[in-house]
Structure 1
């Protein structure tokens, strides 16, 4: 089997293997009945079973495949059976070595959870955060470590069916994340076809029109600090700025200026890739002062960092705690509200205060309505002064709600 040296041959059985090991030298024993089947022994006494074969005839270079180390489960009997199976594959044109590599790659690199992490890391900006969240909450718990090539349409449907009833509006987002992930896998050559090919996008859900009444807004504001050191201030800034949840959650100290009373939200963190400048009203300044433990704010780092320094992700738990507090404060029920309703509440509140529609859209950084189509291309006025006045008035309105609510809410800025 190896040029320049005559290799020992014989029947590979337990007695012959034990004898070879007892010599304490490196050696081979090739089976005299099954061509290519052998056992390799090292001077350390470790033995392993191998199969030596050629792909493409006698002129092809010989290859060696390690079946496994001597011991459970590989004994002379089980190793011989495996060598016979592999020899049949070779005769059929299948390379056992390449097949083993493919299996290892499928089990590790193409395990869905691992592959999903690599896919998420290939992204950037706000879309990356959305992908990571949807994969973690909805897709990984169902697909787990199933090899990517073995995921079928049935599993994709299972992911969507497993989503809670309250998440039905998010089905389209989860579907879009999976579609992009599998499209990326096809482009890399990791799979031949996407299991989502031919599937219809889940139907759009009727847009919500829920906004919080003044009393609801006041009570949620009051209970927010009793939930989590990050969640409470996030809720309050959502109420005061009208920005999106992830935009507030990922706020950094270098984006905000106390002297200018301004939050400069970069385009890399907005949904529409348009930067936005948000005026910080007195209540918003108070919230941030509370986080900074005074009027001197840090120059860098996350505004909402957990005890480990990571970004906050406990929205569901925080909202459930607020709902428990609301149920115990003696007020009326606050039905069917969501965090995104706070953004709609700000928009509605600005309209109630008489703010122009164009200014409200500019505050929300919403590309639509007055900022869509040709008007959005040629009308580039940023409404900075009007936005400042609108958010200042809205902050004063919220503060007035708290002052009017009595002692329970008068401490809201403490």
Structure 2
């Protein structure tokens, strides 16, 4: 017959680790703490339960699941959660508290699980990223915004059941990643890596679970370039979509800039005569200031955009916005609407970033020099790199303008618009 769990911690852990799954559910009493039982399921799952009396009636309170290491947190004994990980000593501490509370007439089952749920941890993580960062300096604002977007769209919806971060293990991470598309999978893993390495979380959990999770495979390098027919389809669909997503897509194609550089564009970042977009270093991926000449067709689209105002009638600082206080962020719904307007047959799988690649490819077809194309894209690789990048400080501003005006003319010809845009004389 199976005896009780030994009182000595090390012997108790060895006793539990050597248990074999039973044919039916069984409860094994603890020799050191009255009322504490280890519940063993045929599946091998182990949980802790306390049997006591509440208001004179027999009651069973599940206080956590067995884990040899347990949770490294000084709040053990204050927390009651059926999903938290507890070693033998921790289970005994909580069992003693449950029985004492029951004697005083307090029902431990009605107590809150934790004062800091998953949402609070994530909120503090984002605040820290913006304020001080994790390596001695705050992360870029656009990076913090991306962290926040990924958490809101790819992580929180799948962990709505998590009321305490200590119940998360690497299998929860892998299950979440399996539900996401390849690109989103890599992004979510990167954010979770930073989150679980963050010192407050690491201290609360006692270990870094991300090291046990299998990292998503690096996605294959994309080479998707839209054909002329596909460009025309996307352009016409963007016209039907309307503000803000439609014209935003058109500007992405016409300028070749990155998605967030255009979606988060501010009116103050455009010159008064709408001849150029000027992005500060904090708004670009390579942390270099960048000037984008505005071609006549691009200018025409910008001039047609509405100025959104907030509840007080104050104009928004953002060019593309639905709230007046934050930049546009509904990419998933926007792309679904765009693809609906594209009609049938559906375009083969494509992403907004493919517009940037398409722009670069078409500039090459137009005979634009590689270093000018890289200047348009704000790249410092390829032909202008290494020593050349250090000593060549020329910005190619007029060459960029000429290239983007040629490209705008090509786009207009491809999309079938009747208005002719004359090239600026040199």
TM superposition score normalised by structure 2 = 0.66
In 2, the alpha carbon distance for the partners of 1:347 and 1:81 equals: 67
**Shift, 1:395, TM fit:** 1.4
Is 1:349 the equivalent of 2:362?
yes
Q: Is the Cα–Cα contact under 8 Å of residues 196 and 202 in structure 2 kept in the other structure? A: no
Say which of 160, 169, 176 aligns to 1:159: 176
CA distance in 2, matches of 1:375, 1:199: 42
Measure how far apart 1:134 and its partner are. 1.4
Cα drift, residue 324 of structure 1? 2.2
Partner of 1:386, secondary structure, is: helix
Instruction: Say yes or no: does 1:77 pair with 2:94.
Output: no
Does structure 1 residue 391 correspond to structure 2 residue 391? no
Q: Tell me: CA distance 1:319–1:299, structure 2 relative to 1, closer, same or farther (3 Å).
A: closer
Residue 231 of structure 1 deviates from its aligned partner by 0.3
Tell me the distance in 1 between the aligned counterparts of 2:113 and 2:257: 42
Counterpart check, 1:269 vs 2:276:
no
Task: Count matched residues.
Answer: 317
Cα-Cα RMSD = 3.5
Q: Paired residue for 2:5? A: none
**Alpha-carbon distance in structure 1 between the residues aligned to 2:408 and 2:289:** 22
Compute the displacement of 1:139 (Å).
Answer: 1.1
Gaps of 5+ in 1: 1-73
Looking at structure 1, the residues matched to 114 and 165 of structure 2 have their Cα atoms a distance apart, in angstroms, of: 9
> Partners of 1:335 and 1:249 in 2: how far apart?
24
Among 295, 299, 319, the alignment partner of 1:281 is 295
Find 2:245's aligned residue among 215, 228, 231: 231
Task: Give unmatched runs, 5+ long, in structure 2.
Answer: 1-52, 62-76, 78-88, 102-109, 131-140, 308-313, 422-426
Q: Which residue of 2 aligns with 1:115?
A: 121
Q: Distance in 2 between matches of 1:368 and 1:186?
A: 38
User: Larger C-alpha radius of gyration, 1 or 2?
Assistant: 1
Q: Would you say 1:207 and 2:213 are equivalent positions?
A: no
Deviation at 1:154, TM superposition (A): 0.5
Whether 2:248 is the aligned partner of 1:241: answer no
> What do residues 124-180 of structure 1 show as CA deviations (whole Å, max 9, x unaligned)?
4111122122112211122225211221000000111011xxx21332221111000
Where 1:277 maps in the other structure, the secondary structure is: strand
The CA distance in 2 between the partners of 1:153 and 1:333, in whole Å, is: 38
Instruction: Return closer, same or farther for 1:300/1:252 CA change in 2, 3 Å cut-off.
Output: same
Q: Is the 8 A contact 2:147 2:191 kept in 1?
A: yes
CA shift digits 1:79-106 (9 cap, x unpaired): 9999xxx9xx99x777959x99xx9897
- Cα contact 1:225–1:231 (8 A) shared by 2: no
Give the match for residue 380 of structure 1: 393
Instruction: Tell me if structure 1 keeps the 8 A contact 2:254–2:407.
Output: yes
Asked if 2 retains the 8 angstrom alpha-carbon contact of 1:267 and 1:273, the reply is: yes
| CA distance in 1: counterparts of 2:171 and 2:183, whole angstroms | 21
Q: Helix, strand or coil for the counterpart of 2:292?
A: strand
The answer for the alignment partner of 1:7 in structure 2 is: none
State the alpha-carbon separation in 2 of the partners of residues 208 and 217 from structure 1.
17
- Superposition map of 1:5-404 within 5 A: 77=56, 96=97, 107-109=114-116, 111-124=117-130, 125-144=141-160, 146=162, 147-163=164-180, 167-186=181-200, 189-259=203-273, 261-292=275-306, 301-307=317-323, 309-327=325-343, 333-402=346-415
Deviates more, 1:269-278 or 1:154-163: 269-278
SS at match of 1:180: helix
Deviation, structure 1 residue 310: 3.4
1:217-245 Cα distance to aligned partner (Å, 9 max, x none): 12211221322410011101101111111
Q: Once the 2 structures are TM-superposed, how far is the Cα of residue 201 of structure 1 from its aligned partner?
A: 2.9
Cα distance, 1:120 vs. partner?
2.0
Structure-2 change in CA distance of 1:228 and 1:182 (3 Å) = farther
Shift of 1:185: 4.2
What's the counterpart of residue 24 of structure 2?
A: none
Distance in 1, Cα, partners of 2:283 & 2:418: 34
Q: Secondary structure at the match of 2:207?
A: coil
Q: How far apart, in 2, do the equivalents of 1:198 and 1:159 lie? A: 14
Equivalent position of 1:11 in the other structure: none
Higher helix share: 1
- Output one character per residue of 1:249-286: Cα deviation in whole Å (capped at 9) or x when no partner: 11000001142611011111222222211011111111
Contact 1:226 1:232 in 2 (8 A): yes
Name the SS of the counterpart of 2:305 in structure 1: helix
